[in-house]
């Protein structure tokens, strides 16, 4: 007889203890995977929390670049990605050689890379940023220095508008957030008059322009908790609704569109988490020279006040 979800959770819990493992789940993971995790959150926050534990094994329920980020910050821990095929199409829109070519074409420019990028790209940039701190990071660069922003043109465009500072934007984007269209938001507004619209900066500029607030996932959680509003239209990957609802149970959260599903984020299941712990698979490795340079880019971001 196949395992019930309860059996799976019991076996995961036993192995988690035996392996001295910590399970991380990104906010966009399936609800049952979020529920079994030690920590849920955004990728950098999770990697930092895991690095601060004395766990020997990190099971990262997310996509490949996130597990790499955990490895960058915890080189001596074993970092496992339950489904090794879970990549990020946006992170894959630029690689090391492409970024090196861009840098040659823009000598002297500062390179800011969104954490949604490979370790190789992080190693090539000057400073990383998250969707929560991208504006602060860019503002920390002297105004007379050109800025190359990779890989997300929508996040870069949002920062550009906010700071009134032109940048050279790599034409990458998140296909999941790009599925959210202004007509989806308009329809939800008609269905829920007075609802507050929250949009992630990975959304198209037209969608961000319609939002009451443009926020990272952790920013949305905080905003919803602190707001007097009762109903929210959420323009980001639908997995965040699970967290929002747990966090603010008395409020109503509606996806801008149910089509905003990242198929890569949904590849990790309870079974795969169990198999990862049973067989210590799939370990993520980052060459030490790349890891060390990528860590410097992350550290520079953390040093920005
Ligand atoms: S939601 Fe977008 S940015 Fe996040 S992993 Fe999926 S494709 Fe990549």
Of the CATH numbers 3.40.710.10, 1.10.238.10, 3.40.50.12780, 3.40.50.10800, which one belongs to the domain with range 91-173?
A: 3.40.50.10800
User: How large is the average pLDDT for residues 201-217?
Assistant: 98
The reported pLDDT for the residue numbered 2 is 67
Angle, nearest 10°, between helix axes 43-51 and 64-73? 30
Q: Which residues line ligand 1 (CB under 6 A)?
A: 28, 63, 88-90, 116, 174-176, 237, 262, 264-265
Burial of residue 163 (number of CB atoms within 10 Å: 0-12, 13-18, 19+): middle
Helices (H), the chain: 5-19, 31-36, 43-51, 64-73, 96-105, 119-124, 134-139, 153-163, 175-178, 182-191, 205-210, 217-226, 240-247, 270-279, 288-303
Nearest-angstrom CA–CA distance, 238 and 41: 14
Report the first-to-last Cα separation within the chain, whole angstroms.
55
Q: How far is the CA of 172 from the centre of ligand 1 (A)?
A: 11
Domain boundaries, the chain: 5-87+265-285, 91-173, 176-255
Q: Among 58, 156, 124, which residue's Cα sits nearest to residue 290?
A: 124
Q: Among 1, 7, 19, which residue's Cα sits nearest to residue 276?
A: 19
Pairing mode, if any, of strands 57-61 and 39-41? Answer: unpaired
pLDDT at 243 over 90: yes
Q: Ligand 1: which residue has its CA nearest to atom 5? A: 88
User: How large is the average pLDDT for residues 147-162?
Assistant: 98
User: Could you report the per-residue pLDDT of 78-89, keeping only the tens digit for each?
Assistant: 999 999 999 999
User: How large is the average pLDDT for residues 35-44?
Assistant: 94
Chain-wide mean pLDDT for the chain? Answer: 96
pLDDT at 1 over 80: no
Of the CATH numbers 3.40.50.10800, 2.130.10.10, 2.60.40.420, 2.60.40.10, which one belongs to the domain with range 176-255?
A: 3.40.50.10800
Closest atom of ligand 1 to CA, residue 65: 5
The reported pLDDT for the residue numbered 161 is 97
Q: What is residue 175's three-state secondary structure? A: helix
The residues with which 148 forms a beta bridge, in sequence order, are 111, 168
Closest atom of ligand 1 to CA, residue 89: 7
Other Cβ atoms less than 10 A from the Cβ of 259: the count is: 12
**5-87+265-285 CATH fold:** Rossmann fold (3.40.50)
Q: How far is the CA of 143 from the centre of ligand 1 (A)?
A: 30
Nearest-angstrom CA–CA distance, 148 and 171: 11
Percentage of the chain exceeding pLDDT 70: 99
Q: Do 5-87+265-285 and 91-173 share a fold? A: yes
The reported pLDDT for the residue numbered 301 is 95
């Amino acid at each position: 007889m196949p395992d019930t979800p309860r059996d799976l959770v019991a076996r995961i819990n036993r192995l988690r203890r035996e392996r001295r493992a910590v399970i991380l789940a990104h906010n966009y993971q399936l609800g049952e995977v979020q529920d079994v995790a030690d920590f849920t959150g955004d990728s950098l926050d999770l990697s930092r929390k895991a690095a601060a534990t004395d766990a020997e094994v990190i099971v990262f329920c997310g996509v490949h670049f996130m597990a790499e980020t955990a490895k960058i910050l915890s080189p001596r821990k074993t970092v496992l990605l339950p489904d090794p095929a879970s990549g990020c199409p946006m992170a894959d829109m630029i690689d090391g050689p492409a970024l090196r070519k861009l840098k040659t074409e823009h000598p002297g420019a500062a390179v800011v890379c969104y954490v949604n990028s490979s370790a190789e790209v992080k190693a090539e940039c000057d400073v990383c940023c998250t969707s929560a701190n991208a504006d602060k990071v860019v503002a920390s660069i002297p105004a007379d220095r050109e800025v190359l922003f990779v890989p997300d043109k929508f996040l870069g465009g949002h920062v550009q508008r906010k700071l009134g500072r032109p940048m050279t934007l790599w034409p990458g984007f998140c296909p999941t957030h790009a599925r959210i269209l202004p007509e989806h938001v308009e329809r939800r507004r008609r269905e829920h008059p007075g609802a507050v619209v929250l949009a992630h900066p990975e959304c198209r500029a037209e969608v961000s322009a319609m939002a009451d607030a443009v926020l990272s996932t952790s920013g949305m959680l905080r905003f919803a908790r602190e707001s007097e509003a009762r109903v929210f239209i959420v323009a980001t990957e639908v997995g965040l609704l699970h967290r929002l609802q747990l966090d603010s149970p008395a409020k109503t959260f509606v996806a801008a569109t149910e089509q905003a599903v990242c198929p890569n984020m949904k590849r990790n299941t309870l079974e795969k988490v169990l198999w990862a712990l049973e067989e210590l698979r799939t370990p993520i490795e980052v060459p030490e020279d790349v890891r060390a340079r990528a860590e410097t880019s992350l550290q520079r971001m953390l040093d920005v006040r």
